Amino acid sequence: MVTELEMMKERFAKLLLGEDMSGSGKGVCTAVTVSNSITNLYATVFGQNLRLEPLNPEKKALWKREMNCLLSVCNYIVEFTPKSQNLGNGAAVKIMESRQRSDIYINLPALRKLDAMLIEILDSFEDREFWYAEQGSMSSNSSRTGSFRRVVKRSDEKWWVPVPCVPPSGLSEKARKHLRHKRDCANQIHKAAMAINSSVLAEMEIPDSYLASLPKSGRASIRDPIYRLMYTAEKFSPERLLDCLDIASEHEALELADRVEASMYTWRRKACISHSKSWGMVKDLMSDVDRSDKNHMLAERAESLLIALKQRYPELAQTSLDTCKIQYNRVGKKAICAFFFQ
């Protein structure tokens, strides 16, 4: 009990001080504090969890306890909605009642459910036919079945990853079916979490700091070769354009995504300015802007290219805009995004 009380005191202090333990008033905002705490908790609990096996009971309890504590702030993020109430004399009056903000009310329970499903997947591997051996020390496990073989050959770049091993006869059909089923379940959970995250990010306002950093020229941002393919094509195909590019790694794909996204908003801004629209219109779908406008056409093609790029690289990290949105937006949305990205 004393330990939990001390933990609560520490969490409360970091929240008030914005992680600035010097007390100088230079701490980050509450939203960043909550997000960083969730990220650090994930690293503590799951950072070394590289095996298909049940989570350590102590770590599982730590994850549930501290996540409940960190996400409890969302219980007090409310919005006011009108409600009809009948008085004693039969008259109906309108009153305002508070309820949890709609985005949190919808998305947070869904993420909690997905989190529980992932824990259940790990728990389902308590009795398994395969086991793990650390790289270079597999002899310690050889007594388990008398013999073993490696299923996956690790490269030197991932020397820390434990090697899965199976009996000489391989896995039984039951074990194979179980692995395939849990893999499919995990993929569906990932897709659901991605959809929630995309929805939350789309609803976030674009921070002024990002808008101020946009390049003056969309063409310069994506560079001439890509610009010519986008502008001159009569029927634009983002998939075909990606096939023409030599993207060797996800790092290069993320760099391209940042440049394409910046160009998209640069062209949207120019389309709004050329039609005497306010800069605020850039944050909308620009439905009132002339679709034959060159900048509008390029913005649409850049958007389709960005979508195709993210579909081709589903594990792509956050773009600069996503990171900026998470950093500067509200507590509830930041908590949801931090929960997703773990």
Query: Amino acid letter at 314?
Result: P
pLDDT for 141 equals 44
What is the C-alpha to C-alpha distance for residues 118 and 46, in angstroms, rounded to an integer? 12
Do 263 and 215 contact (CB within 8 A), yes or no? yes
User: What's the Rg (C-alpha) of the chain?
Assistant: 25
What is the C-alpha to C-alpha distance for residues 199 and 185, in angstroms, rounded to an integer? 21
167: number of CA atoms within 13 Å, CB side?
10
pLDDT for 333 equals 58
How many angstroms separate the Cα of 321 from the Cα of each of 53, 273, 332? 36, 22, 18
Helix or strand or coil: residue 256? helix
- Rounded (10°) CA dihedral 205, 210, 211, 215: -150
pLDDT for 336 equals 57
Helices (H), the chain: 2-17, 30-46, 57-71, 102-123, 173-203, 208-212, 218-222, 224-232, 238-244, 250-274, 294-312, 320-328, 331-341
Q: Is 68 left (phi over 0), alpha (psi -120 to 50) or beta?
A: alpha
What is the C-alpha to C-alpha distance for residues 311 and 316, in angstroms, rounded to an integer? 9
Token pair of 340 as six digits:
């997703």
Q: What is the pLDDT along the chain (342 residues), one digit of tens a residue?
A: 557 677 777 777 777 777 777 777 677 777 777 877 888 888 888 888 889 999 999 999 989 988 888 888 888 888 888 888 888 887 888 888 888 888 888 889 999 999 999 999 999 999 899 988 865 444 444 444 434 444 455 555 667 778 888 888 889 999 999 999 999 999 999 889 888 888 888 888 888 888 889 988 999 999 888 999 888 888 899 999 999 888 888 889 999 999 999 999 999 888 887 655 555 544 454 445 455 678 889 999 999 999 999 888 877 888 889 888 877 766 555 555 555 445
Helix or strand or coil: residue 22? coil
Query: Could you identify the residue written with the tokens 């388990």?
Result: 144
pTM of the predicted model, to two decimals? 0.71
Q: How far apart are the first and last CA of the chain?
A: 28
pLDDT for 139 equals 42
Closest CA to 29 of 38, 17, 40: 17
Secondary element (H or E) of residue 94: strand 92-100
Do 205 and 190 contact (CB within 8 A), yes or no? no
pLDDT for 304 equals 92
Helix or strand or coil: residue 85? strand
Token pair of 158 as six digits:
């991932």
Q: Is 262 left (phi over 0), alpha (psi -120 to 50) or beta?
A: alpha
What one-character DSSP code corresponds to residue 315? T
pLDDT for 151 equals 47
pLDDT for 274 equals 64
